A and B are shown apart, each in its own frame.
Chain A
Amino acid sequence: MIIDLPRFIAEERAHWTRLESILDKLESEPEHRLDLAGLKSFHLLYERTSADLAKVATFASEPELLRYLESLVARAYGEIHETRDKAHRLAPRNWLLRTLPQTFRRRVGAFWLAVAITLLGCGFGGIAIQFDSEAREVLMPFGHAQQDPRERVATEESADKDRLEGQKSQFSAWLMTHNIRVSVFTFGLGITFGLGTIIMLFFNGAVLGAVAVDYVLAGETQFLLGWLLPHGVVEIPAILIAGQAGLVLARALIGSARPVGVRERLREASADLVTLIAGVAILLVWAGIVEAFLSQYHEPFVPYWLKIAFGIVELCVLGGFLAFAGRAKAA
């Protein structure tokens, strides 16, 4: 086949320009929907341009034209053959009140698995701290957790000045960013078929279990609850949700009974993963604020009953939100 190229370009150029303008509109306005006539026209232009590309591809020396048509066809191909839900404009309220809790519930199996792994870790940590004197150094490598609980409580309750004075905001920011990093890493390790996520959850549980048993055995249960509950009831679920996301990623890699390829499973899971991790980040921002501004203050400055009550209220609100928010109302 021989084409009179100048004539060919002159004849087809209007169609390419029209296709390009439709693509520009679709790409710049994700919520824009074409009507039936517009869709027909779009499809026709795509097919026509594809045919033009096939013709031009046989020529030796028009790389610019070829590249231009390839870019047009590639963009139109992405629009026409895209079968996933179309992207929407960001709607934070809808996302927070509906998408996040719905996604959590849709993937709740992975959450319970994360809870079970963490509880196993807790059991391990609790037993280890009781029977192995070296376990404290391994499981509680941070600051005051290495201290004897009774000594620490005595020190905290007799403190006459605010040891975080002038640093509370920075401490809060550090907690937020550090915990978000750890949570994202826990999620990311799901790519190791979940093994890395499981290790992170188990180790986190082991630390928690060791600290809890250490304080309970020392008779400082009230202090422990007052210290951990205000931020822990948000921070621990956040890490569990990060683990949930990691396990969802692992499940997409490992597969299920459905005859769907790994790439398709990953494609299906990706929006849920992002939703869960964004939820984790929000929870950890709150936990960081509470930990820096409330959890580190003890009696006589803040009564324990108040801190414990605050933690219980937070837990109820969070639990209720995740369990019930975004459910369709009964008719």
Chain B
Amino acid sequence: MSVASSLQIKTPEGVVFSLILAGPVSRFLAWTIDLACVAAISSILGKLIMLLMLISPDLGGAVRMVLYFAVSIGYGMVLEWKWRGQTVGKKLLRLRVMDEHGLKLRVSQIVVRNLLRGVDALPLLYGVGGVACLLSRRAQRLGDFAANTVVVRTPKIAEPDLDQILGTTFNSLAEHPHLAARLRQRVSPREATAALQALLRRDQLEATARLALFHELAAHFRAAVAFPEEATEGITDEQYVRNVLDILFRRMQTVIATRLPPEPA
């Protein structure tokens, strides 16, 4: 059984995107939300049609039947088309349907993947689709496979409360901007995240373990970029790590927040 996690798309220009693939559980939850939406829309339409039923019960019943059918089959198609691969359930769970090659999502792709829901839903509660999703390298149900689409997760990157963690004390390392720039260039995202996590969980660590951990982290960052002695003199290993993270995260966030154009809708 494959454990599909991400899909990498490399452009001819050498740029690589990494799309996080959604698993069957989050997709199933999104589907249950969508099911509730379909039920709610149908119920509202049913109430509106009551007026028509007063005039002609036969015509009212027919309109209700056709509208329910149209909503149940068209809900996914219309929303995925209008919202660029999202429905209400997918929006809430931060999922999105995308072309598997990163190309534009076409109307025909949306229609095909939704028309094949009937097969994916067999025998009950998307049994076939769920199994296909688990077995697929790209976490695709049969409809996705036929339509060349994937469902990806677009998680919001959690921003820790850096002011609380890092404090607002003077940062001696920031007095050396060229070395700070080199530090940002040399420390990988994984290293920075690991150090941030260590700081976030410092209270859960035993005193000696904490000292050892921050000693190791500080040594690692010192080896990456050597700051002058006057900048590091008299500060503990933990404070050194705080100062490094302050340079890596908070100062960049301030710069980016003030200069970055708004994110596309």
Chain B residues near A143: list those with CB within 8 A. none
Q: Report whether over half of chain B's contact residues are helix, strand or loop; otherwise say mixed.
A: helix
Interface residues in B, total, Cβ within 8 A: 62
Is B14 engaged at the interface, CB distance under 8 Å to the other chain? yes
A82–B109 contact, CB under 8 A? no
Report the minimal beta-carbon distance from A9 to chain B, rounded to whole angstroms: 4
- When chains A and B are docked, how far (Å) is the Cα of A185 from the Cα of B122? 11
Given contacts A87-B106, A189-B119, A266-B147, contact A60 B184 (CB under 8 A): yes
Q: Which residues of A contact B182 (CB under 8 A)?
A: 2
Give the shortest distance, in Å, between A177 (CB) and chain B (any CB).
Answer: 4
Residues of A near B11 (CB, < 8 A) are: 50, 73, 77, 81
A147 at interface, CB cutoff 8 A? no
Asked if A188 and B119 make an inter-chain contact with CB atoms under 8 angstroms apart, the answer reads yes
User: Does B99 sit within 8 A of A, measured CB to CB?
Assistant: yes
What is the distance, in angstroms, from B51's C-beta to the closest C-beta of chain A? 16
Are A277 and B264 in contact (CB-based, < 8 A)? no
A255 interface hit (Cβ, 8 Å):
no
Known: A1-B185, A71-B264, A266-B145. 7 other contacts (CB 8 A): A5-B181, A50-B11, A59-B252, A74-B17, A172-B62, A191-B146, A270-B112
**29 A-B pairs whose Cβ atoms sit less than 8 Å apart in the complex:** A4-B181, A5-B184, A5-B256, A9-B255, A17-B261, A51-B13, A54-B14, A59-B252, A60-B188, A71-B264, A73-B17, A74-B102, A77-B9, A78-B99, A166-B57, A166-B58, A167-B58, A169-B56, A169-B59, A170-B58, A173-B62, A185-B119, A189-B119, A191-B145, A266-B146, A270-B112, A271-B108, A273-B108, A277-B115
Q: Which residues of A contact B (CB under 8 A)?
A: 1-6, 9-10, 13, 16-17, 20, 23-24, 47, 50-51, 53-54, 58-65, 67-68, 70-75, 77-79, 81-82, 84, 87, 166-170, 172-174, 176-177, 180-181, 184-185, 187-189, 191-192, 196, 249, 263, 266-267, 270-271, 273-274, 277
Q: Which residues of B contact A (CB under 8 A)?
A: 9, 11-15, 17, 56-59, 61-63, 65-66, 69, 73, 99-100, 102-104, 106-109, 111-112, 115-119, 142, 145-148, 157, 178, 181-182, 184-185, 187-189, 191-192, 248-249, 252-253, 255-257, 259-261, 263-264
